[in-house]
Amino acid sequence: MPTALITGATAGIGAAFARRLAADGFALVLVARDEKRLADTAAALHRRYGVQADTLAADLATDKGITAVEDRLREGVDLLVNNAGFGHPGAALDVPIADEVTMLRVHCEAVLRLTMAALPSIRTRARGGVINVASVAAFFPHGTYSASKAWVVNFSESLAAQIPERRVRIMALCPGFVRTEFHDRASIDTSGIPGFLWLSTDRVVDAAMRDFARGLRVSVPDARYKAIAAVSRFLPHNLPGQILRRKALRAGRP
Ligand SMILES: NC(=O)c1ccc[n+]([C@@H]2O[C@H](COP(=O)([O-])OP(=O)(O)OC[C@H]3O[C@@H](n4cnc5c(N)ncnc54)[C@H](OP(=O)(O)O)[C@@H]3O)[C@@H](O)[C@H]2O)c1
């Protein structure tokens, strides 16, 4: 039975990956911080799909947490889904520097270290791979969140180009707005986001697994977001900055 390790597996996109991979017959290793929620998620997956679901409580914003997950990955897995992540409210200049550093640790350092810990066993098996959850935000400059996701895309693509084994795949997944706990947790106001732009977690994961099987290096689920990502190449690079500046002026902030 193949094994998949998923970070951020208790909510949103990570939980949808866990359901999908359990349905596909993967044994699971679920990673997140909240131990009770991990245990409940694992028990529900075992009940519903009959698969083994182990848990590993780890905070990927800490060296100890990353090291614990690296150790588990070195025992061998077939698929790693680097999914854990979070957002910040407000404009880049308002975010405390400590929160920015934490974001870089979870979105970049953890993704780098966990990918490198997983790859040797995956390459020995000559199949499987790594899915790194980035965002369409990677295609627009908008603070540390976008920059960290741009790193994830660039890192995944460059690594994929260096892997000689045909059936070992590294893919960056770039979803648009997805209904999860992400925005509430970050106190991000979503009232201005039109309904048609929201995607469901299951739809994102279905598209991701299809693109992964096809060997794509970057997956952008949904035609609307494919178009947005394509158009982003032709937009002025400072457009999001101009929009944010106008919003801040309207709100009476400098
Ligand atoms: N939702 C969107 O619109 C959207 C769009 C594009 C990309 N994404 C990306 O998709 C990924 C998943 O986001 P989501 O929307 O599914 O978020 P979510 O619903 O808030 O779930 C986040 C998951 O990550 C875990 N997590 C958060 N911080 C962690 C840490 N320091 N260490 C370990 N686990 C941690 C959480 O569990 P614990 O709190 O128990 O640790 C939870 O399981 C993120 O990388 C995000 O940037 C989201």
Amino acid at position 116, single letter: M
Could you tell me the residue range of the domain that residue 236 belongs to?
Answer: 3-250
Residues 6+ away with beta carbon under 8 Å from 184: none
The tens digit of pLDDT for each residue in 170-191 reads 999 999 999 999 999 999 999 9
Distance 25 CA to ligand 1 centre (A): 24
Tell me which residue has tokens 């960056």. Answer: 172
Query: Which residue's C-alpha comes closest to atom 1 of ligand 1?
Result: 178
Per-residue confidence band for 234, with pLDDT thresholds at 50, 70 and 90: confident
Distance 180 CA to ligand 1 centre (A): 8
Enumerate residues lining ligand 1, CB below 6 A: 7-14, 32-34, 37, 59-61, 83-86, 106, 133, 135, 175, 177-178, 180-182, 185
Counting ligand 1 atoms within 8 A of each CB, the residue from 144, 179, 182, 203 with the most, and so the one to mutate, is 182
pLDDT over 70 (residue 75): yes
Report the candidate in 209, 212, 217, 77 with the shortest Cα–Cα distance to residue 160: 217
81 within 8 A of 131, measured Cβ to Cβ? yes
Report the candidate in 114, 164, 203, 2 with the shortest Cα–Cα distance to residue 211: 203
pLDDT over 50 (residue 58): yes
Q: In what order do the strands lie in the sheet with 79-82?
A: 53-57, 27-32, 3-7, 79-82, 128-133, 168-173, 218-219
CATH number for position 67: 3.40.50.720
Q: Which atom of ligand 1 is nearest to the CA of 34?
A: 40
Distance 16 CA to ligand 1 centre (A): 12
Query: Which residue's C-alpha comes closest to atom 42 of ligand 1?
Result: 8
DSSP 47-96: HHH---EEEEE--TTSHHHHHHHHHHHHT--SEEEE-------S-GGGS-
Which residues are the active-site residues? 145
pLDDT over 90 (residue 91): no
pLDDT over 80 (residue 238): no
As for how many domains the chain has, the answer is 1
Query: Which residue's C-alpha comes closest to atom 17 of ligand 1?
Result: 182
Residues 6+ away with beta carbon under 8 Å from 134: 149, 150, 152, 153, 156, 172, 173, 174
Distance 83 CA to ligand 1 centre (A): 6
The DSSP call for residue 233 is T
pLDDT at 254: 38
Distance 107 CA to ligand 1 centre (A): 10
pLDDT at 90: 76
